Amino acid sequence: MNQQPAKPAYKRILLKISGEALMGDLGFGISPDVMTFLANELKEIVDLGVQVALVVGAGNIFRGEGLARGGMDRVTGDQMGMLATVINALAIQDAIERIGLEARVQSAIRINEVCEDFIRRKAIRHLEKGRVLVFAAGTGNPFFTTDSAAALRAIEISADLMLKATKVDGIYTADPKKDPTATRYDELTYDEALDRRLGVMDQTALVLCRDHKVRLRVYDMDRPKALHRIITGDTSLGTLVRV
Ligand code: UDP
């Protein structure tokens, strides 16, 4: 008997991938293995007809805060961080196109020789055409994070679900690597995450999500098929954050 293909529970999603997630075991830069894995995971959900947008960080290359700690002007450091997200976005675009999907990068900072500018209407058009969209350069402003950029873009494109891919399978009461008694939350409200300072995302991102009723799932991106399972309605993976 033929199995029916799984039906997606969401029409349009926004996935936030940190820079650190892209470096794998390398310690710096971009791991080709991670890129291939990510592209294949994305293909599985694009093939279901889900519209996919990504926001990528740059912790694998530069973070403004770290550069400022070393003495650099913070705004210059943040600009370097934002440009580093463009590098990551180009790598993701390349990996996605190599497996036969269409992809576009839109940057919040104008850098027209390498990618498009962020234009909301154009972004939505790309998504409707089945292209994977990679949002780069964060919000385009210093002193923000790519988590805040992800919240912003999720709201702007009316994503049904925002996902945050991490190295841990959800949000815990404490850091599970340091505290063996830490337990995972199945569900959490934004106010609880804010009050308990759980470090899911920065406060700006959490407040933006709360005020605009974004549904967020934090999950372990290293787990094969996790994305497909979540998109087809499996609620047992990771932690759901809601209003
Ligand atoms: N950044 C910024 N404005 C933004 C988003 C990012 O200035 O709207 C800079 C900031 O310096 C940040 C760096 O880009 O440290 C990389 O982003 P992030 O730290 O969020 O990356 P991730 O932790 O997700 O890898």
According to the model, what pLDDT value does residue 199 have? 86
* β-strands 116-117, 12-17 pairing: unpaired
Q: In ligand 1, which atom is closest to the CA atom of 143?
A: 7
CA distance 77 to 92: 23
What average pLDDT does the structure give for the chain?
A: 96
Asked whether residue 101 carries a pLDDT value surpassing 80, the answer given is yes
Dihedral angle computed from the Cα positions of residues 210, 214, 218 and 222, in that order, rounded to the nearest 10 degrees: -150
Predicted confidence band at 177 (pLDDT cuts at 50, 70, 90)? Answer: confident
Mean pLDDT throughout 96-108?
Answer: 98
Closest-CA residue, ligand 1 atom 14, reads: 81
For residue 149, which of 134, 159, 157, 137 has the smallest C-alpha distance? 137
According to the model, what pLDDT value does residue 4 have? 72
For residue 14, which of 239, 243, 231, 234 has the smallest C-alpha distance? 231
Close Cβ partners of 200 (under 8 Å, ≥ 6 residues apart): 164, 171, 188, 193, 206, 218, 241
Q: Say if CB 10 and CB 160 are below 8 A apart.
A: yes
CA distance 39 to 36: 5
pLDDT tens digits for range 201-218: 999 999 999 999 999 999
pLDDT tens digits for range 184-197: 999 999 999 999 99
CA distance 103 to 132: 5
Q: In ligand 1, which atom is closest to the CA atom of 21?
A: 25
According to the model, what pLDDT value does residue 76 have? 98
Mean pLDDT throughout 20-34?
Answer: 95
Closest-CA residue, ligand 1 atom 15, reads: 63
Asked whether residue 136 carries a pLDDT value surpassing 60, the answer given is yes
**Which sign does the torsion angle of CA 156, 161, 166, 170 carry?**
positive
Strand order in the sheet with 132-136: 116-117, 103-107, 132-136, 51-56, 12-17, 161-166, 216-220, 239-242, 187-189
Q: What is the pTM of this model?
A: 0.96
The tokens 């991102």 sit on which residue? 205
According to the model, what pLDDT value does residue 125 have? 98
- Tell me the chain's radius of gyration from C-alpha atoms: 17
Q: Is the CB of 204 under 6 A from ligand 1?
A: no
According to the model, what pLDDT value does residue 195 have? 96
Taking the centre of ligand 1 as the mean of its atom positions, its distance from the CA of residue 62, in whole angstroms, is 8
Domains of the chain are 12-242 (3.40.1160.10)
pLDDT tens digits for range 9-19: 999 999 999 99
Predicted confidence band at 2 (pLDDT cuts at 50, 70, 90)? Answer: low
CA distance 210 to 226: 25
Helix (H, G, I), strand (E, B) or coil at 43: helix
Mean pLDDT throughout 67-86?
Answer: 98
pLDDT tens digits for range 222-232: 999 999 999 99
Token readout for 82 is 């934002």
According to the model, what pLDDT value does residue 1 have? 55
Asked whether residue 123 carries a pLDDT value surpassing 90, the answer given is yes
Mean pLDDT throughout 77-99?
Answer: 98
